[in-house]
Amino acid sequence: MLESPAIPRTAGILRIGMIARMNAAYKNHSLLLNAVSEMGRDLPDFELLFVGDGPLRPALEREAEQLQIRERVRFVGDRGDIQALLVSMDVSVVRSRSESLSNVILESMAAGVPVVATDVGGNRELLDNERGLLVPPDNSEALAWA
């Protein structure tokens, strides 16, 4: 049995989540912020949940502020309740520029959460556009439309 949501939800709000350390630029948090900014023009009722922490967090918080989406982005830090967090998401996003095999994709699939991931490394072996969507790395517009 799956755990109940770890972070309360607001009815009618699409929750997009990314679980990744904030210590490496290749995880590409910034591209997701840009995609969310683009999406916001057409999809007003959503929130972005960043799970993870690291030295890039302050810069990402500033970037969210500069993009004028800070009120839609929740930085929840490192958490031990990943399964419960996944269950609370409508979509799990994996934005790595390079990846051998993403554990987050496997965890998301096990939780029944749709995945949008970059078409790199082992991701294409896990997702086939039926179990999740693959998008080109470094393309915020493709991510926004996914």
What 3-state DSSP class applies to 66? helix
Cβ neighbors of 110 (< 8 A, separation 6 or more) are none
10-residue stretch averages of pLDDT, the chain, 146 residues long? 62 90 80 83 82 94 94 91 91 82 90 91 82 80 68
Cα maximum dimension of the chain: 41
The length of the chain in residues reads 146
Alpha carbons 87 and 109: distance in angstroms, whole number: 10
Which residues, listed in sequence order, are joined to residue 92 by a DSSP beta bridge?
17, 115
CATH of domain 14-145: 3.40.50.2000
